Amino acid sequence: MSATTAADGAILVDGHEWTSAAAAAAVTAAAGPGASLAVHHGKERFDILPLLVATDGGIKALGYDGRRLRPNLVIGGVPDLRERDWPGQALRIGDVVIGIESLRGRCIVTTIDPDTGVQDLDVLRRIHRSFEGKVALNCWVAQGGTIRVGDPVELIDEELPRPPRGGWILGAPYLVP
């Protein structure tokens, strides 16, 4: 699946107008049932950068369901809080290269249980007290491609051009054009 912008500025998904049934079917096929495209008229289209990466070690250290962080990607096999040293580097997963900018400052949404909707303010208190308010990584796709569960991940020390700010997002989950 690919997303592009037509010469007239229209957003296309696999060559179809993003509001079409064909585009909706492509999104569902790629992201699963319940995924949809959404329009956003605000200045920013994502929190910081379009990709949030978490690690199993960071989630374990947090001690809560990792879905509270809303990561796009979870890297397994990472001991403890090792990812806190990763900003300024990159991840290589096959042909894909993901730039890592910074640790993500967390907000009140982390306090909402993803299954019940019940709020637990202790989650955010813990993030602030134990992690200086930051958990997971603000990232961007420097080189796109396909990744699969179980693909090896390599941390590389590579200088990447900084991503553009702003941009647009295609609903949930974020789909990389």
Q: Looking at 3-17, 114-128, 140-154, 160-174, which range is the least confident one?
A: 160-174
**Residue 144 to residue 131: CA distance in whole angstroms:** 31
pLDDT tens-digit readout, 35-62: 888 776 655 544 567 789 999 999 999 9
Is 76 strand, coil or helix?
Answer: coil
Task: Kindly state whether residue 86 falls inside one of the protein's structural domains.
Answer: yes
* Tokens read off for 176: 């990389």
Strands 73-75 and 51-55: parallel
Provide the pLDDT for residue 169. Answer: 41
pLDDT mean over 19-36: 86
Do 133 and 76 sit in the same domain of this protein? Answer: yes
3-19: average pLDDT: 82
pLDDT score for 70: 93
In a domain, 171, yes or no: no
CATH number at residue 94: 2.40.33.20
Residues 76 and 13 occupy one common structural domain? no
pTM above 0.75, yes or no: no
As a whole number of angstroms, the distance between CA 20 and CA 40 comes to 17
* Tens-digit pLDDT profile for residues 148-159: 999 999 999 987
Could you tell me if 94 and 124 lie in one domain?
yes
